[in-house]
Amino acid sequence: MNYPFWDEPMGYGVLMAVIAVFHVFVSHFAIGGGLYMVVSERIARKAGDTKRLKFIEKLSKFFVLVTLVAGALTGVGIWFVIGLINPAATEALIHNYVWGWATEWTFFVVEIASAILYFYGWKRMAARDHMIIGWIYFVFAWLSLVVINGIITFMLTPGQWLATGDFWDGFFNPTYWPSLVMRTGVCGMLAGLYALLVASRIEPGDFKARMVRYSAGWGIVGLVVTAVCEYWYWKAIPAAVVEKALQIMPTPIHSIEYSVWLAMGIGALLVVFGVLAPRKLSSPAAALLMVLGLVWFGCFEWFRESIRKPYVITGYMYGNGVELAKADRYKKEGYLAQLAFKTGDDGADLFRHACRSCHTLDGYKALKPAFDGTDRAFIAAIIRSAHLLRGNMPQFLGKPEEAEKIADYLYQRMDKRPLDEVYGLQGVELGRKAYALRCGKCHVLGAASDKSKSFAGQSADDLNSMLNAAADMGEGMPAYTGGAKERAGLVAFLEQLGKGVKK
């Protein structure tokens, strides 16, 4: 915790997603586009096909602009953002991979320079020279993926690096190869999809049919490579990581299951238009394909980022920048003792460093809805038990009195009226809300740690005694501290759960 905290209102997750999603799309486009252009240029020149050459020239304008402007700007943007939102993790990545980054930047400079020359050279260079430049553009764009892929995959599966600290162990980690081949397939697929979009606007005729068929071929080959490698990638992730994610964060895992359907849909559309009816491809259909392709790829990236929780670098650093190796020191000396920059408001500082990198008070992953209408003691208990909650959170490593300070800070900002008044609820509905806030954070109905069965056949008295003994029911389970009205509602709701009426 050697850095001050940047208190931006949007929520780190949102900010990162906005810029990273854009960058990831653009950078894969740029690589695939490079290959598409040189290969197509060669085919066109061999056949003396000037129409096709014109088509590629038109495409190159977009690809080059995208690489130069959007790719470079968002790439630098990512550095700004990660440096601000997780300086500790950024520092770790730089320390371990400084030569990797330097290599990647060198490749990127060559990529940029050759992209400019390629675009400039259409009318001013001999065919052979122009194609050589095109190949240099593609190869160096792809090489930058070769390098950066080692660092991105390292964050999810550092493999032997955790034991050896060796550059190459971290670089060629368990998901390196599947990810590299898969991303190469994505590059090809996205390039094909974009070319389809442009081809869909050509006036109807033989030439359009030819370009649509050809570009759909790129999409299909890219999709097949990607689909096979996605399975390979999935198998390369340590079973324990997937297991844990399935229990506490089922949504991203399901998203990857749904994405299989999405991929099949894209494949079907590509076959329909590319093979069966290339003349019929309209711009809206091509745009739909493009959107589906991006959504599909977005699902994969979301999945990859999500299953890494609670870590930013698996097994090495938590999402809030705390190194696992320092966990004992945090517990012994306390959290505050580790902070180099303090504002004087301990509760605020602790909240920022321990929670705020993943949560906001009332925006992204908001804590107000989680705590409004509850009480200070409950909030403190939840902080101490953060690692037990659904969602895969890091353990709170501070001293118990520091958890109290965060609880104070949060409680001051919550709605302090009783739960029934906050939400205007009565009876069983009030109980359902109480369950969601006070129990469901750990016992998700129908999923992780569901305790519904324990309530079967219990009377209201039994359930009341259970709530009295809540703090003794499990290590880390909070005492029940809700008011009388809320408690009556909760008991009614639990009775109903026990009867299996509402599960």
- What one-character DSSP code corresponds to residue 66? I
Token pair in block for residue 501: 């009426």
DSSP character at residue 337: G
| Smallest distance, ligand HEC to C-beta of residue 139, A | 38
CA–CA distance from 137 to each of 31, 34, 118, 124, 314 (Å)? 8, 6, 8, 17, 34
Q: How far is the CB of 481 from ligand HEC (least distance, A)?
A: 9
CB of 252 to ligand HEC, least distance (A): 10
Closest residue to ligand HEC in the complex (CB): 474
* Shortest reach from residue 233's CB to ligand HEC, in Å: 22
Q: What is the C-alpha separation between 381 and 449, in angstroms, rounded? A: 18
Residue 230 C-beta: closest distance to ligand HEC, Å: 24
Q: Which is nearer to ligand HEC, 218 or 396 (CB)?
A: 396
Q: 80 near 15, Cβ under 8 Å?
A: no
Strand residue runs (E) in 314-392: 317-318
Please report, for residues 371, 479, 481, the alpha-carbon distance to residue 429 in angstroms, rounded to integers and kept in the order given: 17, 22, 19
Nearer to ligand HEC, 203 or 475 (CB): 475
Q: How far is the CB of 444 from ligand HEC (least distance, A)?
A: 9
Look at residues 481, 441, 473 and name the one whose alpha carbon lies nearest to residue 455: 473
In 10 A of CB 199, how many CB atoms?
26
Smallest gap, in angstroms, from Cβ of residue 406 to ligand HEC? Answer: 6
Select 28 or 443, whichever has its Cβ closest to ligand HEC.
Answer: 443
CA dist 351 and 355 (Å) reads: 5
Least gap, CB of 365 to ligand HEC (angstroms)? 5
Q: Which is nearer to ligand HEC, 157 or 385 (CB)?
A: 385
Give me the least distance between CB of 240 and ligand HEC, in Å please. Answer: 18
Question: Whose Cβ is closer to ligand HEC: residue 183's or residue 438's?
Answer: 438
* R_g of the chain, CA atoms, integer Å: 27
Angle made by CA atoms 437, 442, 443, in degrees to the nearest 5: 95
d(CA 356, CA 295): 28
Residue number, 16 or 292, with CB nearest to ligand HEC: 16
What's the min distance (Å) between Cβ of 154 and ligand HEC? 18
How far apart CA 165 and CA 158 sit, in angstroms, is: 10
Instruction: List the one residue out of 27, 202, 278, 38 whose CA is nearest residue 135.
Output: 38
Point out which residues bind ligand HEC (CB under 6 A). 309-310, 318-320, 354-355, 357-359, 365, 367, 370, 382-383, 385-386, 388-389, 391, 393-394, 396, 406, 438-439, 441-443, 449, 451, 454, 470, 473-478, 480
- Residue placing its CB nearer to ligand HEC in the complex, 270 or 463: 463
Q: Is 252 in contact with 306 (CB distance < 8 Å)? A: yes
Cα angle value 91/95/100 (rounded, 5°)? 115
b/e map of 79-103 (b: 16 or more CB within 10 Å)?
eebbebbbbbbbebbeebbeebbeb
Name the residue nearer to ligand HEC (CB basis): 34 or 394.
Answer: 394
Give the nearer residue to ligand HEC in terms of CB position, either 191 or 307: 307
Nearer to ligand HEC, 97 or 318 (CB): 318
